[in-house]
Amino acid sequence: MNNILTVDLEEWFVVENLRDNISFIEWEQKTARIEQTTDRLLELFDQYSVRATFFVLGWIAVKYPRIIQTISHAGHEIGCHSYQHRRVDTLNREEFTRDTEQAVNAIADAIGIAPVGYRAPSWSINSSIPWAFEVLSEFGFMYDSSVFPIRHDIYGEPWGPRTVFKMDLANGKSLYEIPASTVSILGKNFPVGGGGYLRHSPYWFTSWMVKRLNRQNRPAVVYIHPWEIDEDQPRTEGLSAFQRYRQYGSISTLLIKLEKLFREFDFFAARDYLVTNMRRPIGFGR
């Protein structure tokens, strides 16, 4: 079964967890870690012949075009992760359009082609802003991967679809949605593998959930961030215990868990999965 591996390519200081502590105007002054962490991921992916989708922050593409070029030359897909990592559900249509255009142009300048996949910062596209899907389709995106069908204090749409599906939009265009993976247990959706869920969960639980999805002929969508493998990540002052746990907890385990996943399962880029599977019916709804 082909599973989907994705990387949200962003620096440690841009995450929603630190938004109240570090503002956009401070980004330039922060210690950069993205080059060494991305190189470590690329080495690991090459070792296990894994291909992934890297959802690239436009700000990163402008500042570090070499990284984007290296990722692309290694055979990985380059997707879009906005320009400034602003939650889409805090923007209006015009603001989202400007941010997306800036990000697409930054990525195209770095690698010569525009991305066909999009992931919103903090999974922040949902049914309350259907115009966001229309904007993406107007930019020529093939798919979005921004819906997370769980309950969470920052994001989530628990009633959202749990399988890959195609949306026919009000503007006459269409867009595939690749939601973050969940497993339904006693009527509640549990996240499968990504971010803190992957770091903090015992490996056997992640493996069990991936196998369960695969038995249902569904791919597991795994997502990670480069800063999640960085034990030397700079520490931010003034965080609550919960924020520290989210940011730094279980970082030492992620590379070990990724190696186990790559030994046990096959992983591909999101675009490759769609190209292979869109010739046959794609699952709709729950």
Q: Which CATH class is domain 2-277?
A: alpha beta
Total residues belonging to the chain: 286
At 103-161, the pLDDT tens digits run 999 999 999 999 999 999 998 998 889 999 999 999 999 999 999 886 665 655 666 77
* Domain edges within the chain: 2-277
The arithmetic mean of pLDDT across residues 18-34, rounded, is 91
**What are the angstrom distances between the C-alpha of 252 and each of 6, 227, 248, 258?**
20, 11, 9, 11
Taking each helix axis from N to C terminus, what angle separates 93-111 and 131-138, rounded to the nearest 10 degrees?
Answer: 30
**CA-to-CA distance for 279 and 286, rounded, in angstroms?**
20
Q: What is the pLDDT of residue 158?
A: 67
Q: Give the pLDDT score at 278.
A: 65
Which residues are paired to 9 by β-bridges?
56
Least confident of 164-178, 252-266, 269-283: 269-283
- C-alpha Rg value of the chain to the nearest Å: 18
pTM, rounded to two decimals: 0.93
Please report which residue ranges of the chain form alpha helices under DSSP H. Answer: 34-47, 58-63, 65-73, 93-111, 131-138, 195-200, 203-215, 241-248, 254-264, 270-277
Would you report the helix, strand and coil content of the chain in percent, each value rounded to 5?
Answer: 45, 15, 40
Q: What letter does residue 250 receive in the DSSP assignment?
A: T
- pLDDT of 177 > 80? The answer is yes
Q: What pLDDT score was predicted for residue 260?
A: 97
Please give the mean pLDDT across all residues of the chain: 90
Q: Strand, coil or helix: what is 233?
A: coil
Q: For position 154, what pLDDT does the model report?
A: 62
With 0-12 CB in 10 A as exposed, 13-18 as middle and 19+ as buried, what is 127? Answer: exposed
Alpha-carbon span 39 to 230, nearest angstrom: 12
pLDDT of residue 280: 41
**pLDDT of the residue at 182:** 87
Pick 170 or 77 by higher pLDDT. Answer: 77
